[in-house]
């Protein structure tokens, strides 16, 4: 749906009266104000981005859903993280957290995987150049947006990747907690398929504590119970 792309360039000399979009209708752009055309072109560009990222729903992960046991995709994962944030924000290590910024980071954090693909958290080979691959993908996907939003979304992604601010640390904690939670509720499906043991789970995920000590404490008990139940190798 690229209709707005095909609009003729506005000839300023033809704008002889105050064009009303209601009177002129969308099929008569020459009668519209330049500012309104700019808004329409900006919106069309933003919507092309919104259409492109539909593909996040087709990027599948290693974790499986609790009921059907099919592979989870990145869009579902991102939604689940947002739900976790608005439910568990009180357990962050900081009483004053900018929850809106946490949500923005998590809504966009996996968009780079549309181009770079999902990297399994325990695939050390693929992880070696993961950030470089994803940075190239970030240039492309956020570059679809108007320039000011390219900068805004890229800054959010860079902040998430750097794990330095309280918001990024809590976002990262939730991003690591959720796959553990799904693993623990699917008899360790992804862990067992890839032969991951307790030490690797703890090494990979203990930084959850940097975002939420309470969440890591819960996770540590959950991991211990998974080992006790035979769902995770000791």
Interaction site with its own copies (CB under 8 A): 1, 3-4, 21, 26, 39-40, 43-44, 46-47, 49-51, 53-58, 65-68, 72-73, 75-76, 78-80, 82-84, 86-88, 91, 99-100, 103-104, 107-108, 145, 149, 181-182, 184-185, 214-215, 217-218, 220-222, 224-225
Phi, psi of 71 (to 5 degrees): -65, 140
Q: How many CB atoms lie within 10 A of CB 132?
A: 10
- CB 101, min distance to its own copies, A: 10
What are the angstrom distances between the C-alpha of 31 and each of 6, 42, 90? 16, 18, 52
In this structure, are residues 172 and 82 in contact, taking their beta carbons and an 8 Å threshold?
Answer: no
Q: Are 175 and 106 in contact (CB under 8 A)?
A: yes
- Contact predicate 137/116, CB 8 Å: yes
Nearest to its own copies of 128, 155 (CB atom): 155
| Residue 46 CB, nearest approach to its own copies (Å) | 5
Shortest distance, position 126 Cβ to its own copies, whole Å: 23
Nearer to its own copies, 71 or 126 (CB): 71
Q: How far is the CB of 109 from its own copies (least distance, A)?
A: 11
Tokens in use for 234?
A: 């000791």
Q: Choose between 47 and 127: whose C-beta lies nearer to its own copies.
A: 47
């Amino acid at each position: 749906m690229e209709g707005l792309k095909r609009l003729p360039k506005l000839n300023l000399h033809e704008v002889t009266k105050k064009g009303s979009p209601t009177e002129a209708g969308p099929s008569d752009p020459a009668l519209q104000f330049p500012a309104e055309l700019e808004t329409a072109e900006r919106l069309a560009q933003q919507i092309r981005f919104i259409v492109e990222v539909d593909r996040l729903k087709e990027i599948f992960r290693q974790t499986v859903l609790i009921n059907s046991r099919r592979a989870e995709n990145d869009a579902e994962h991102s939604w689940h993280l947002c739900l976790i944030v608005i439910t568990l924000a009180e357990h962050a290590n900081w009483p004053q957290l900018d929850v809106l910024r946490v949500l923005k980071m998590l809504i966009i954090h996996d968009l780079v995987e549309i181009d770079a693909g999902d990297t399994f958290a325990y695939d050390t080979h693929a992880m070696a150049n993961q950030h470089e691959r994803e940075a190239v993908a970030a240039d492309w996907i956020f570059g679809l947006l108007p320039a000011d939003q390219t900068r805004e979304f890229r800054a959010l992604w860079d902040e998430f990747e750097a794990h330095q601010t309280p918001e990024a640390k809590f976002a990262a904690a939730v991003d690591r907690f959720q796959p553990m939670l799904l693993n623990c509720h699917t008899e360790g499906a992804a862990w067992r398929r890839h032969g991951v043991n307790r030490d690797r789970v703890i090494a990979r995920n203990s930084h959850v504590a940097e975002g939420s000590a309470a969440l890591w404490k819960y996770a540590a008990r959950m991991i211990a119970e998974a080992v006790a139940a035979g769902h995770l190798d000791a």
